[in-house]
Chain A
Amino acid sequence: MSNFEYAVLDAAGAVIGISNLAGPVERDDHIPLAPESEIQAGDIYDRESGEFSRPAPVAPPAPPKISEALLPRKITVNAFRSRFTSAEELAFETALATSPMLSLLDKRLAALVATHVDLDDARYTTEAMPALVGAGILSAERAEQIMTAATQWHELPPAIQQQYIAAGYEIDV
């Protein structure tokens, strides 16, 4: 029933629609199409030549990447413990039995790290690590190393890993 087919253009000359109308329309943004035309949305119309062209397909955007250097400073409790050497861990366990102050601090931090260790939590840098250094369990350099090491992907709590994966991040690790 419709014999008047038009390509509808936007201001840039791109086809944004095809209209099959019951009568003629006179508009600069409506270009009459021949029967059986294969013009489609996204094609480009050149007003000088009167020809349509089809842009090359655009490759889908690459998934966003995140490197380990940008991972949040939140790691699992096991990951935190793994940053200590066996000798350091043994020294800590031994000290717990003889130092009420360290034992108290350990209990406080245990409540704090129910789900993960936040390496930016000031209680680690102002209380816990100085206490371990003061007790001779760690050197100041080792305390610094443990607290400032970049988060590794495998150290992240699973919930945070899943959030990155669900968002389509490509993990560059």
Chain B
Amino acid sequence: MELTSLVAAGIKTQQNGFVDTATPTNGAAGEDRVYVDITIAAVDIAKSVVDVSGGYSMSLRGSSVLASNPSVKAVTWDGVTGGGASVNYSLMGRLINSTTLRLSVYNPVTTDVTNPRFMARWSVVEGK
């Protein structure tokens, strides 16, 4: 639903929340490689809009994972093992059915990860 139409019609329900977890679900490669499903009260998907702000952050160990992830700049040097890097991914949000909001990350690094944190504030607004 377009926001202008929603505003013109009026708001029927508004739901919101906060999520903070170190153990999001691992899915198949792609849009849902890492995700968290949020249960909400039933809404009409066609009349609803989603807003998400947050991110998925982590630290990476050593150089092995960095070598296979050229998008991540390695921080390693002679004589030191365990050097790493920190990365942060944006979250995407969508309603996958009338009662589930999915917050997902497109193909983040999933190996040699330490201190993962999936954190977001979300809202679902349903128009009349």
A residues near B, CB below 8 A?
Answer: 1-2, 4, 8, 10, 16-25, 27, 30, 41-42, 64, 66, 70-74, 160, 163-164, 166-167, 169
Contact = CB atoms under 8 A, between A and B. Distances in A.
A4 B82 CA distance: 46
Interface in B34-91: 36, 38-43, 75, 77-80, 82-83
B17 interface: yes
Given A17-B21, A21-B40, 7 more contacts: A16-B20, A19-B39, A22-B40, A23-B41, A42-B20, A71-B79, A160-B79
A20 B20 contact: no
Given A17-B18, A17-B20, A41-B20, A22 B41 contact: yes
A160 B14 contact: no
A76 to B, nearest CB: 15
A58 B11 CA distance: 42
Contacts of A169: 80
Interface residues of B, number: 27
Contacts, number: 84
B39 A72 contact: no
Contact of A19 (B38, B43, B77): B38
A45 to B, nearest CB: 14
A136 B75 CA distance: 44
Given A16-B19, A22-B13, A8 B38 contact: yes
Contacts of A72: 78-80
5 contacts: A17-B19, A19-B39, A19-B40, A41-B21, A166-B75
Contacts of A41: 18-21
A2 B19 contact: no
Given A17-B18, A41-B20, A70 B79 contact: yes
Contacts of A16: 19-21, 36
A25 B15 CA distance: 13
A21 B13 CA distance: 9
A70 B81 CA distance: 11
A79 B41 CA distance: 70
Contact of A30 (B14, B20, B39): B39
B79 A25 contact: no
B10 to A, nearest CB: 12
